[in-house]
Amino acid sequence: MSQPASSLKTSSSRRLLSRFGLSGRGLVVLVPYVWLLLFFLIPFAIVLKISFAEADIAIPPYTALLDWAEGGMLTVKLNFASFMFLLTDSLYAVAYLNSLKIAFVSTVLCLLLGYPMAYGIAKAPASWRGPLLMLIILPFWTSFLIRVYAWIGILKQEGLLNNFLIWLGVIDTPLNILYTDVSIYIGIVYSYLPFMILPLYATLEKLDDTLLEAAADLGARPVKAFLAVTLPLSMPGIVAGSLLVFIPAVGEFVIPSLLGGPNTLMIGAVLWNEFFSNRDWPVASAVAIALLLFLVVPIMLFQYFQEKQQEAAKQ
């Protein structure tokens, strides 16, 4: 009895995939690698290529990296002037340091606010957890730009916050909050707080409550039990949430531009100016590559040492 054509096609495709060493599990693992290749490695290679070019009045506004010389020889022209320019101009160092400072402070503030919220949701009754998580995710249903613009109406001198404080009698004159670093911190913490809460909740929700009961039976007070049991076990969530906040906050452009004003110096604004105002794409690409190295190298080192510690703990 002959097999149907569909089963024959399925079996032949399986044999073809197995010939290349791909099974069902291999295909599932292959999907994120293809995603990274298309949307990270290829754009990174393009930006890296532009960073080694020279600025030119042309379309695109940079010279070609590969060129055919006389005699049909293919030559590669690598220009390191853009990277050297970053080392000689203090503007970029100040922008990098200011971006790292704002991102670090914002991450700490998100952690201080997000940890109690995630802990409270994780310890809430099961019927309450869904609605509470919905309240955390609900702001994402509104446009990010609209939410940032809303803070302008809240923080400006004649805005809602100052009028409310004057009505309460707390202050006599309006506070100057908008277009300061404080307004940037408020905007970043408000926008990225859910990225801190959700990984923390996922970690805290899985903790075994019997460990806290055992600590209490051994005489540990609630604060000591939290510091000795809950906090160490929640470190994966703390690290994941901190990275999800810190990395995008370093390159943030919209919030500093709208809430911090034109005088706020962050690397995102420097990138925008180099690309669109100065039309110096090689320097802008060098700034982006340097920023990526600042972020990726420490994260890779951290993961390496963390894996070593986990291996040592298992042994």
Which tens digits make up the pLDDT trace of 38-56?
888 888 899 999 999 888 8
**302 against 40, higher pLDDT:** 40
- Alpha-carbon distance 296 to 273, whole Å? 24
CB 185 within 8 A of CB 102: yes
Whole-model pTM: value is 0.83
The alpha carbon torsion through 140, 143, 148, 154 (nearest 10 deg) reads -90
| Cis before 43? omega within 30 | no
Residue 67 has pLDDT above 80, yes or no: no
Dist. CA 108–CA 196, nearest whole Å: 10
Give the model confidence (pLDDT) of 71-125 as tens digits: 667 777 888 888 898 888 888 889 999 999 999 999 999 999 999 999 999 989 8
Per-chain mean pLDDT for the chain:
84
For residue range 114-172, list pLDDT tens digits in order. 999 999 999 898 889 989 999 999 888 888 889 999 999 999 988 899 999 999 888 88
**Cα distance between residue 167 and residue 160, in whole Å:** 10
Q: Is the pLDDT of residue 267 over 50?
A: yes
Amino acid 312: pLDDT:
66
SS3 for 85-121 is HHHHCHHHHHHHHHHHHHHHHHHHHHHHHHHHHHHHH
226-250 per-position pLDDT tens digit: 888 888 888 889 988 999 999 999 9
Q: In 138-208, which ranges are continuous DSSP H helix?
A: 144-155, 160-168, 181-204
Tokens matching residue 285: 């690409």
CATH topology of domain 82-314: MetI-like fold (1.10.3720)
Which residue do the tokens 């955390």 mark?
A: 136
pLDDT at 8 over 50: no
Q: Kindly report whether the peptide bond that precedes residue 60 is cis, defined as omega within 30 degrees of 0.
A: yes
